[in-house]
């Protein structure tokens, strides 16, 4: 059966028109929604904010009383009046002490001594490294004294049996005449080794003394004595 339709009743021709009209109406509604503004709420917010009352704190005014001015010094008043008094005053003679014929009074005069004992001032020993001209042993270099110690040193039997060895550090003073004094142990190893080191150094011959400004001076010297088993 064939369907017959009149051209006037065909709605396909107006479909595109209706679509465009609907799209324009939708766009208009969206733009109107974005442009819509509400002023009532803002007015209410400002109205509420204006109702807040701020209380001002009243600060009391304090006044301090100034300190009183310092008192001015009183100026003594000088008077030109002169009072004349009598000179008839009795003096008690018992209050005065006579210095005549009184052996307990006065200052004793001592005889002047022409000879005065000179006080001996001991000069402090100068360290070996600071002296201008260092002391020397038998006119040789520092190793000369070490060789002499090695020739005269006797190893103690007790230390040899116990296998004790080491280095004993001694300190002694070279006097102005070249003799060695004040020999003492700065760092020891064993009592037997320490005593032998002090003995052999104390038996040293005289040295040539050190000099400071062309004058013989006392010099302090540190010296190691080595004990080594062979």
The whole-number pLDDT of residue 42 equals 46
Query: Is 97 a member of any domain?
Result: no
Query: Is 110 a member of any domain?
Result: no
The whole-number pLDDT of residue 14 equals 72
Query: Is 25 a member of any domain?
Result: no
Q: Using pLDDT thresholds of 50, 70 and 90, give the confidence band for residue 46.
A: very low
The percent of residues in the chain predicted with pLDDT above 70, rounded, is 62
Query: Is 80 a member of any domain?
Result: no
Query: Is 172 a member of any domain?
Result: yes
Q: Using pLDDT thresholds of 50, 70 and 90, give the confidence band for residue 15.
A: confident
Query: Is 135 a member of any domain?
Result: yes
| Tally of domains in the chain | 1
Query: Is 168 a member of any domain?
Result: yes
Q: What is the pLDDT of residues 192-202, one digit of tens each?
A: 999 999 999 99
User: Among candidates 164, 177, 171, 230, which has minimal Cα distance to 205?
Assistant: 177
Q: What is the pLDDT of residues 214-225, one digit of tens each?
A: 899 999 989 999
Q: Residue 173 maps to which CATH number? A: 3.30.1150.10
Query: Is 196 a member of any domain?
Result: yes
The percent of residues in the chain predicted with pLDDT above 90, rounded, is 32
What are the φ and ψ backbone dihedral angles of 199, each rounded to 5 degrees? -65, -50
Q: What is the pLDDT of residues 122-156, one digit of tens each?
A: 667 888 778 888 899 988 877 899 999 999 999 99
Q: Show the domain range for 216.
A: 126-227
C-alpha 31: how far from its chain's center?
Answer: 81
What are the φ and ψ backbone dihedral angles of 183, each rounded to 5 degrees? -75, 120
Burial letters for 101-119: b for 16+ Cβ neighbours within 10 Å, e otherwise?
A: eeeeeeeeeeeeeeeeeee
Q: What is the 3-state secondary structure (H, E, C) of the chain?
A: CCCCCCHHHCCCCCHHHHHHHHHHHHHHHHHHHHHCCCCHHHHHHHHHHHCCCCCCCCCCCCCCCCCCCCCCCCCCCCCCCCCCCCCCCCCCHHHCCCCCCCCCCCCCCCCCCCCCCCCCCCCCCEECCCCCECCECCCCCHHHHHHHHHHHCCCCHHHHHCCCCEEEEEEEEECCCCCEEEEEEEECCCHHHHHHHHHHHHCCCCCECEECCCCEECEEEEEEEEECCC
Q: What is the pLDDT of residues 53-101, one digit of tens each?
A: 666 667 766 667 777 887 777 776 666 666 666 666 565 665 555 555 5
Stretch 104-123: mean pLDDT: 56
C-alpha 152: how far from its chain's center?
Answer: 51
Residues 6+ apart with CB under 8 A from 194: 168, 185, 188
The whole-number pLDDT of residue 197 equals 94
């Amino acid at each position: 059966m064939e369907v017959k339709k009149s051209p006037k009743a065909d709605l396909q021709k107006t479909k595109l028109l209706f679509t465009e009209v609907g799209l324009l109406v939708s766009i208009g509604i969206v733009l109107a929604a974005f442009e819509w503004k509400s002023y009532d709420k803002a007015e209410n917010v400002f109205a509420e904010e204006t109702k807040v009352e701020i209380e001002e704190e009243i600060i009391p005014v304090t006044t301090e009383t100034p300190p009183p001015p310092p008192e001015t010094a009183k100026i003594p008043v000088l008077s030109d009046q002169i009072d004349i008094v009598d000179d008839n005053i009795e003096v008690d003679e018992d209050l005065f002490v006579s210095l005549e014929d009184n052996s307990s009074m006065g200052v004793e005069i001592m005889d002047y001594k022409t000879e005065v004992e000179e006080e001996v001032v001991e000069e402090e020993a100068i360290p070996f490294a600071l002296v201008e001209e260092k002391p020397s042993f038998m006119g040789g270099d520092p190793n000369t004294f070490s060789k002499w110690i090695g020739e005269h040193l006797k190893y103690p039997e007790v230390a040899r049996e116990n296998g004790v060895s080491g280095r004993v550090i001694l300190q002694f003073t070279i006097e102005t005449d070249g003799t060695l004094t004040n020999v003492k142990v700065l760092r020891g190893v064993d009592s037997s080794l320490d005593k032998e080191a002090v003995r052999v150094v104390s038996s040293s011959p005289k040295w040539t003394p050190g000099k400071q400004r062309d004058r013989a001076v006392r010099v302090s010297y540190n010296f190691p004595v080595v004990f080594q088993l062979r």
